[in-house]
Each structure stands twice: as C-alpha cells, then as structure tokens.
Amino acid sequence: MFPDDFSAIKYEATSPTLGKRIWFNGKKDVQKEVDRIIDEGIGKGFSIGQSLYYSVPFFCNARLFAKPLYADLLEEYQIVQDFKIPLAKTLDEAPVIRTRYFNIIRQELLNCQKRQMEMNNG
C-alpha cells in the first residue's frame, strides 16, 4: 500500500501516464502525475473526477487527497438534495463557495450516471 501522508512519500510506482515505473519523492511528484492524468483524461473526454478515480489507485494512496471538508460537503449536498433544504433564503445570500462545491459534486454525479448508462448500454 502507498503512504497516506505526503511527508512519507518516497517510493517507486508505475506512472499511469508515462507507462513506466518512476520514483515519487514528495508532493510535487504526485502533483505532476495528477496534472498529467487530468490533462490526458480531458483530452479523452473524461471528467477530472473520472480520470482520478480510475488512475490514482495505480500510483498513490487516495487518502492523500481526502480532507474532512470534502466528506462534510458531500454529506451536506446529500442532505440538501434529499430533504430539499435551500442553501439560503435567496440566491444572492447563498455562499458562493458552497454553490461552487455543490456544482462540482452535481456535475461529477451526472458524469457517473452517464458512465453507468454507457456501460449498461454497451
């Protein structure tokens, strides 16, 4: 298993984008790989979330990117959607950062649904 802390990163793994084993010697090396994955995925029509979901496990621990904030945002998004609770009384009062995060979550969920339909319809 790969390290779950950036300070512990110094290992060799196969780069999904380069197709060969390389050394990851810290956060910069992981970020370079992530940037290449995103660029490559966008070029092939995949969303950022899809590209990372399919590639990250091959070269690093996904926990490197997990933050409590993200879990909280996902839970909040789900509650807002399930119980039809508004983010604010008016659109002007809605926190901009929340609306941006929620839009990203919504878009990735739509991408997941689209991918599932493609896989089911063959």
Please compute the mean of the pLDDT values over residues 3-15 and round it to a whole number.
93
pTM over 0.95: no
22-71 residue pLDDT tens: 999 999 999 999 999 999 999 999 999 999 999 999 999 999 999 999 99
- Does residue 21 contact residue 12 with C-beta atoms inside 8 Å? yes
70-110 residue pLDDT tens: 999 999 999 999 999 999 999 999 999 999 999 999 999 99
Q: Beta-carbon neighbour count of residue 19 at 10 Å?
A: 7
How far apart, in whole angstroms, are the C-alpha atoms of residue 36 and residue 25?
Answer: 17
Amino acid at position 22, single letter:
I
Look at the alpha carbons of 4, 9, 12, 18 in this order and tell me if their dihedral is positive or negative: positive
Residue 35 DSSP code: H
Tokens of 22: 């390389």
